[in-house]
Chains A and B, each alone.
Chain A
Amino acid sequence: MWKWLHPYAKTERTYHLCQRLLPWFSLLGLAVIILATVWGLAFAPTDYQQSEAYRIIYVHVPSAVLSKSLYSAMAIAAFIGLVWQVKTSFMAMIALAPIGATVTFVSLITGAAWGKPMWGTWWEWDARLTSQLILLFLFLGVISLYKAFEDKQQAGKAAGVMAIVGVINLPIIHYSVQWWNTLHQGATLMKLGKPSMPPEMLWPLLLSILGWALVSGAIFLLRMQNEILQRDIRRPWVVALANKSLALNKGK
């Protein structure tokens, strides 16, 4: 059943696949994200409890949702790489990691910014923000471990093990932080109320999440291509590609 995936264990095939997919993800993603953000920030109805300040959810929620999805995707790539020894899977893992870290960082900043009108402080140790902070550390740990190795194959396997240790711990961390929060604070919960959200607010939110996912996908494709080129820099197909592009540029 998975035989159609086998060619993509080869770097060259994957590189060209990324090339083909890139315009779709980038153009579509950009369009959706602009549409959703403008809709949410300017046109969605005002919340009666939080007035205009709530609009930050159109940036905060997609980034928070994506931060967790990207970590899961990274862990899945790590798992595939470790179990089936697929080199491109490790490349995908490390291509995803910095994107995940950045998105987590954005969710922290926007989460904190949302806190200012709500609680009056720029930072509050509530369950959600604390979990996101720990997630950021997990991302940075995987990236640092990868960068510490000179041999990139070793680096991929080592970072892969840490990614999986992290993903196993993620639910444990999430629930322990939630429990810790009820123990110590109790009251300050970030009210999202997604199910009770009217459709005029919900649609731009969902669209925003889609847009962020597509743009992250586009950045992932670019990073994946870079990673492949860097690793395979001495292979004949890369040299041929470079020569071709050089010839094209000369012709201009």
Chain B
Amino acid sequence: MSVISVANLSVVKRDRLLFENLNFAVEQGSLLYVKGQNGAGKTSMLRVLAGLIEADAGEVYFTLQNIKDCREHYHQHLVYFGHKLGINSSLSAVENLQYWCQQHEVVISVDTIFYTLAQLNLVGLEDIPVANLSAGQQRRVALARFWFKHNAKLWILDEPFTALDTQGIELITKQITTFLSGGGAVVMTSHQALCIDYPTDELTLEYRI
């Protein structure tokens, strides 16, 4: 059964048709890599998949149910990472992640958060306001959420590797591979070449005027 699928999807942004009549399905354990040049509509498509914006035409299905009909159920099994990190710069890394877990019904101990941040090379930086961290470090704090939501079935990542060093990229790539091997589905875009040791489906969006 496909985890996420779209039928006849058309998205318009600022009166420009980004793409139309798009059809695809992502099965459990598969990785969909969305490619295309700047402005082709990758981010918009990912946001339509997540349910943040509405498509002009067509439907998105999560486990064969229209996401409009099962929004709460869908969001319980989704983790989305977009251009905006989703962390508040006045709060610390731990506070941000605790708040995120509380909103997403993830029961977690503070120790687990500290442990995960340590794995992400953020030892000693967990309790200071996130504004004091570098861009790459802030990104790693935001990406930590992928270590927490265990019952997620779908991950949507929009250019996760930006600003990360090679070690950070390795960590995330390993986490994605682990998730995929466990039956999760991933849809992602990236401007860097994807160095992942896992079968990848590709979808290319063309830039339309």
**Which residue numbers of A lie inside 8 Å of B, CB to CB?**
85, 150-153, 231-234
Interface residues on B, range: under 10
A85 nearest in chain B by CB position? B54
Decide yes or no whether B84 CB sits under 8 A from chain A.
Answer: no
Stretch from B9-17, B122-130, B150-158 that touches the partner: B9-17
Are the C-beta atoms of B12 and A234 separated by less than 8 Å? no
Contacts of B209 in A (CB 8 A): 234
A153 nearest in chain B by CB position? B12
Task: Give Cα A232 to B16, complex, Å.
Answer: 9
Q: Which 9 A-B pairs have the closest CB atoms?
A: A151-B14, A231-B15, A152-B15, A150-B14, A151-B13, A153-B12, A152-B14, A234-B209, A234-B16
Task: Give Cα A151 to B35, complex, Å.
Answer: 24
Tell me, rounded to whole Å, the shortest Cβ–Cβ distance linking A81 to chain B: 13
Task: Give Cα A85 to B53, complex, Å.
Answer: 13
Task: Give Cα A231 to B14, complex, Å.
Answer: 9
Contacts of A151 in B (CB 8 A): 13-15
Task: Give Cα A151 to B12, complex, Å.
Answer: 10
Task: Give Cα A151 to B15, complex, Å.
Answer: 7
B209 nearest in chain A by CB position? A234
B14 nearest in chain A by CB position? A151
Question: Would you list which residues of chain B between 1 and 53 have a CB under 8 Å from chain A?
Answer: 12-17
Contacts of A85 in B (CB 8 A): 54
Contacts of B12 in A (CB 8 A): 153
Task: Give Cα A56 to B92, complex, Å.
Answer: 68
Task: Give Cα A153 to B17, complex, Å.
Answer: 13
Tell me, rounded to whole Å, the shortest Cβ–Cβ distance linking A83 to chain B: 14
Query: Can you sample 16 A-B contacts with CB below 8 Å?
Result: A85-B54, A150-B14, A151-B13, A151-B14, A151-B15, A152-B14, A152-B15, A153-B12, A153-B15, A231-B15, A232-B15, A233-B15, A234-B15, A234-B16, A234-B17, A234-B209
B54 nearest in chain A by CB position? A85
A154 nearest in chain B by CB position? B14
Task: Give Cα A152 to B209, complex, Å.
Answer: 17
Task: Give Cα A153 to B54, complex, Å.
Answer: 11
Tell me, rounded to whole Å, the shortest Cβ–Cβ distance linking B140 to chain A: 32
Task: Give Cα A150 to B17, complex, Å.
Answer: 15
Contacts of B15 in A (CB 8 A): 151-153, 231-234
Task: Give Cα A232 to B17, complex, Å.
Answer: 10
B12 nearest in chain A by CB position? A153
Contacts of A150 in B (CB 8 A): 14
A233 nearest in chain B by CB position? B15
Contacts of A231 in B (CB 8 A): 15
